[in-house]
Chains A and B, each alone.
Chain A
């Protein structure tokens, strides 16, 4: 009996799983295989085993003397920028998101719903449109530059497009809701009697914030940080629109290998590298969040 109900369940899940294996997991395995092949002449691959793609992710050979090997400084610069911009994005989102989440969590319940709705709505609107909105603000003849010139602060427009600053602004803007929501979830459960106890013991506001509130909402803080960090390191649309060729991130570097670069194995190896970093961050995230729910039950 038990066995037949299991068979019935597998029958129900299998169509969804089939689609996912065919259009999500399967192709990922092909990427892993492709990263160990040689590049074809016109894109694509030649079916010869090679570790050259993985080698080129980190190192570079001299064109004239192939024995001369050096670190691939161009790629390293892109990795470094990706990590640094993602880190900065996380910090900006935390600085804005923490007070916002706190403010929402301390409103009366019916008003919290409205605030949460307002924070969530931009997240469900098209990412491309939000990136476009930022572009319109920071373009040379965009809103900010026109305003600055009209106020007489600058005489010439400040170049903001195609810089790390532009990408940072765009990513912080786009991923901010991902920080607010888990922080809010942690603060909503906060026992305010503990905060009160802190004040009763003559703690200052700063001391209560540091020694009572921050340790208690730490899981939400970590969850929010990872939720911002993960899409940041994998970002493609925002850096390609706002950063262009001058402020590339790993996502753009991968795409380049399938376009002008025409080195599919190298692109596949870079994609696998990005995937490993993301999955590591995700495992960390799952451990933090499951520990949190475990505490709640225990």
Chain B
């Protein structure tokens, strides 16, 4: 019997799987957050609401120290990589094919393609060599490694913005006798700002999440929040870890939501 309301888009059971998938994606994270507020030191039995694990985290000097280092590193690496990616994006968009283009794209995207463990040990070897040769053991290596890793992430939204920008505005500026520098300062750059901000945010989140590369590049006493957490996961765990993870999650969530809002407005 023909059904007039027959929906060709519907496939039975698919909606159920979709909702189940979403639940599976969020359930572990939600549990993690819930038990960070647990009075009892357990991941499974509820002992009442408490903020004591947050208090413990904030009173843990090592946690504060590695968190500040992580934030500092993410800001610096995202800042430098966004600057470099902006220059690179300006040079590689709105031009026809030019010699060396494929090589440039391959280089920029290399950190996305090579497994992190391979990049990690490659940097370990290289940094070990540099340390012996120069005697320098500071944060410079981590800044360099994170900057290189963040460049493709910063580059993508900036390039996307440049490619969708209205060229007629720049042409109008040139028609009105604006110099190339003035056109860039008053027309191109203001239009590009959302892309640059998005690129910076993506770079910031990526640097903040990077654990494998940091693990292999860092010298003694240069733990970041993720490498500190990785070390703790191999020992016994208290809900203090849940509290730290929850705060970390909250920060990532804020940055990612802002990123979505900025890139969506572009329309």
Contact B125 A34 (CB under 8 A): yes
Contact B148 A122 (CB under 8 A): no
Task: List, in ascending order, chain B residues with CB within 8 A of A241's CB.
Answer: 230, 233-234
Contact B125 A125 (CB under 8 A): no
* A199 located at the interface, meaning its Cβ lies under 8 Å from any Cβ of chain B in the complex: yes
Cross-interface CB contact of A234 among B90, B116, B226, cutoff 8 Å: B116
A181 to chain B minimum Cβ distance, whole angstroms, is: 13
**Cβ contacts A to B, 28 pairs, < 8 Å:** A6-B99, A12-B88, A20-B110, A23-B147, A24-B114, A28-B118, A99-B15, A102-B18, A106-B9, A118-B25, A125-B256, A126-B245, A127-B211, A135-B233, A136-B28, A136-B31, A136-B242, A137-B28, A142-B43, A180-B21, A234-B116, A234-B117, A236-B120, A254-B117, A255-B120, A267-B121, A268-B121, A271-B121
Task: List, in ascending order, chain A residues with CB within 8 A of B1's CB.
Answer: none
Cross-interface CB contact of B151 among A19, A122, A137, cutoff 8 Å: A19
Q: How far, in angstroms, from A151 to B178 measured CA to CA in the complex?
A: 76
Q: Which of A13, A115, A241, A282 has the largest count of B CB atoms less than 10 A from its CB? A: A13
* B13 located at the interface, meaning its Cβ lies under 8 Å from any Cβ of chain A in the complex: yes
Contact A24 B245 (CB under 8 A): no
Contact B17 A103 (CB under 8 A): yes
Contact B29 A125 (CB under 8 A): yes
Task: List, in ascending order, chain A residues with CB within 8 A of B108's CB.
Answer: 16-17, 20
Chain A interfacial positions (CB closer than 8 Å to B): 6, 8-13, 15-17, 19-28, 30-31, 34, 44, 96-97, 99-100, 102-104, 106, 113, 115, 117-122, 124-137, 139, 141-143, 145-147, 173, 176-177, 180, 192, 195-196, 199, 205, 209, 230-231, 233-234, 236-237, 241, 251, 254-255, 258, 264, 267-268, 271, 274-275, 278-279, 282
Contact B233 A132 (CB under 8 A): yes
**Which of B56-64, B169-177, B247-255 is the contact stretch?**
B247-255
From 10 to 37 in chain B, residues with beta carbon under 8 angstroms from any chain A beta carbon are 10-15, 17-18, 20-22, 24-26, 28-29, 31-32, 35
- Chain B facing A: main interface SS: helix
Q: How far, in angstroms, from A30 to B256 measured CA to CA in the complex?
A: 36
Q: How far, in angstroms, from A135 to B241 measured CA to CA in the complex?
A: 12
Q: How far, in angstroms, from A143 to B21 measured CA to CA in the complex?
A: 19
Contact A141 B44 (CB under 8 A): yes
A151 to chain B minimum Cβ distance, whole angstroms, is: 13
Contact B25 A205 (CB under 8 A): no
* B191 located at the interface, meaning its Cβ lies under 8 Å from any Cβ of chain A in the complex: no
In the complex where A104-B18, A279-B113 touch, is A122 in contact with B121 (Cβ < 8 A)? no
Chain B interfacial positions (CB closer than 8 Å to A): 6, 8-15, 17-18, 20-22, 24-26, 28-29, 31-32, 35, 42-45, 81, 84-85, 87-88, 90-92, 95, 98-100, 104, 107-108, 110-111, 113-126, 128-129, 144-145, 147-149, 151, 155, 205, 208-209, 211-212, 216, 226, 229-230, 233-234, 237, 241-242, 245, 248-249, 252-253, 256-257, 260, 264
A168 to chain B minimum Cβ distance, whole angstroms, is: 14
Contact B151 A20 (CB under 8 A): yes
Besides A115-B22, A236-B120, 18 other A-B contacts (C-beta < 8 A): A6-B99, A28-B122, A103-B15, A103-B18, A118-B26, A125-B253, A125-B256, A127-B209, A128-B209, A136-B43, A136-B237, A141-B42, A141-B44, A147-B44, A234-B117, A251-B117, A278-B113, A278-B114
Report the nearest B residue to A249, measured CB to CB: B117
Contact B117 A255 (CB under 8 A): yes
Contact B121 A254 (CB under 8 A): yes
Task: List, in ascending order, chain A residues with CB within 8 A of B121's CB.
Answer: 31, 254-255, 258, 267-268, 271
Q: How far, in angstroms, from A106 to B92 measured CA to CA in the complex?
A: 37
A216 to chain B minimum Cβ distance, whole angstroms, is: 13
Contact B229 A146 (CB under 8 A): no
Cross-interface CB contact of B126 among A27, A122, A133, A255, cutoff 8 Å: A27
In the complex where A23-B147, A24-B114, A30-B125 touch, is A133 in contact with B29 (Cβ < 8 A)? yes
Q: How far, in angstroms, from A135 to B253 measured CA to CA in the complex?
A: 21
Task: List, in ascending order, chain A residues with CB within 8 A of B125's CB.
Answer: 27, 30-31, 34, 264, 268
In the complex where A31-B122, A254-B118, A278-B115 touch, is A13 in contact with B104 (Cβ < 8 A)? yes
Q: How far, in angstroms, from A136 to B212 measured CA to CA in the complex?
A: 21
Task: List, in ascending order, chain B residues with CB within 8 A of A267's CB.
Answer: 121
